Structures are given as structure tokens and as C-alpha cells.
A = this chain, B = another copy of it.
Amino acid sequence: MKPTEIKIIEEIELDNPIFIEALPGIGHVGKLAADHIIAELEATKFAEIYSPYFPPQVFVGEGGIVENMVNELYYLKDIGENNQDIILLVGNTQGLSPEGQYEICGDILDFLESFNIKTMYTLGGIATGQPVEKYRVFGAATSSEIVEVLKEIDIEIRSNDGGIIGASGLFLGLGALRNIEGACLMGETPGYFIDAESAELILEKLSSLLSIEINVDKLEERAEETREMLAKAQQMEQDMINKTTAQDRDDLRYIG
């Protein structure tokens, strides 16, 4: 099996950057928040990541141009009150299989090792399955010190209540084994649409943690664009998949 391919676009030096993981997940809360930070604060892409554990497909984007499944690393320098450097991990997919998730996460952490990261925030969503009346952000962390910090900014602490599945959990856990402390921020969301309100609350908490300011005026607009694209994509895909999977599988197996 080919290894994770990390294509470096720009060689950079950063000063004790904070790492933020926001790969696509429940309600796209984390992804929407991170994409917004990248756009508003004009983060720069410095690496692309390809893996044989991504879905074997391309996405047809704007104007009929195909896009590979990819994870991307962006950086921000000297932002906020503390002149903080930040690395963001975003993308259009996560690894498909359990082993793939471990492989990709481990390889990205290996790559990031030289940046001497001490702190990590992973962003995700918690699906309620029904309309959310008053949005909340839940949190879990690698140490009780960080749990206290989360509590101070009104993040509700999950306790003994199950797992954090996928990249947001795995990066936090495997990071801790490498002495990177951190937390996972999970925005409550119905889970069945792109949720700008939930992402806004995540951004508010993250602003506090990073001592930065993020203008959220365009967040709803950005969410709307994503929603439209998603709606079209899902409808078309659903048509294709529902109608063809059985046939397709038969074909793959039985035809000479």
C-alpha cells in the first residue's frame, strides 16, 4: 500500500504554533468554522495531503473541474493579541477505514513534529437529531487544566459519556501521546444541515482560546453556498447510487 503523500507547497517556519483540526464531520460545524477562519484571516496553504485511505473518487466542482479528495494544511502568522502562529488542517474528506484514520493521523502528526506544537484544538459537532433551541458547545480535553480553561468560557464538559469518533478524537488522543495538550470543541447541531449558528458559537469559543477576533458577518452567506452545493451534490449522487449500486456490483463481479 502506498504511504500518505504530503506535498509541500511552501517551506515555512513558525513560532510555537497552535494546531487546529477541522476535517468534515457532523453538520460540518468544524469545517465551516475553519474554512471561515482561513477566508477571513487569509491563511496560506502550505501542504496538501493525499492518501489511499480516502474515498476512491473525485468531486466535480465549480465549472465542471474535478477535485481530488485531499486534506490541506494552512498557516497563520502573528495573529491576535499574542501574535500567535496557527496551523489549520482542513479538507474534503477523512480516511474511510479505521486503519486509514490511524495511518493518516499518525503521518500528519509525524510531519508536524518539526513545528514543535504544544497545543491542539479539534473541532467537531454533536448531532441532536432535532432542532436546537439554545446552541451549546461541548468540550473534552487531554488534561484537567485545559478542562478548567474550557469551563471558564462556558463550554460544557462531557464526562464519562462515550467516545469522540474519527479525526477529532484521534488527533487529540494520538497528540497527547506525543505531549501535545489540547481539547475537542463540539458544537451542538441538528446534524442534518450545514449549521452556521453552531459554527459561529465554535468560532466565539475559539476566539477566546486563541485571543483573536473573527468577523462572522459572512459566515451565514458561506454556509448558504455550501448548503446549495451540498444539496445538488447529494441529490445527484443519491440518484446515481440508489439506482446503480446493485447493478454496478453485479457487473464488477460477473462480467468477463
Contact = CB atoms under 8 A, between A and B. Distances in A.
Interface of A: 1-2, 24-28, 31, 50-69, 92-103, 105-106, 126-129, 139-144, 147, 150, 157-167, 169-170, 172-174, 176-177, 184, 191-192, 226, 229-230, 232-234, 236-237, 239-240, 242-244, 247-248, 250-256
A157 B60 CA distance: 10
A2 B62 contact: no
8 pairs of A and B residues whose beta carbons are closest in the complex = A129-B243, A56-B101, A52-B102, A64-B157, A127-B244, A58-B173, A162-B237, A68-B173
A102 B140 contact: no
Contacts of A128: 239, 243
Contacts of A61: 159-160, 256
Contact of A234 (B28, B95, B250): B250
Contacts of A97: 98-99
Contacts of A66: 140-142, 164, 169, 172-173, 176, 184
**Which one of A58, A177, A234, A248 has the highest number of Cβ atoms from chain B below 10 Å of its Cβ?**
A58
A198 to B, nearest CB: 13
A152 to B, nearest CB: 13
User: How many copies altogether?
Assistant: 4
A166 to B, nearest CB: 6
B160 A60 contact: yes
A147 B25 contact: no
B163 A126 contact: no
B243 A255 contact: no
Given A2-B106, A102-B52, A172-B66, A57 B253 contact: yes
A57 B243 contact: no
Contact of A2 (B92, B102, B240): B102
B244 A191 contact: yes
28 contacts: A24-B255, A52-B98, A52-B103, A55-B98, A56-B102, A56-B170, A57-B170, A60-B159, A63-B144, A63-B157, A64-B141, A64-B159, A65-B140, A65-B142, A66-B164, A66-B169, A67-B256, A68-B177, A93-B253, A96-B98, A128-B239, A129-B244, A161-B232, A162-B232, A162-B240, A162-B254, A163-B237, A234-B254
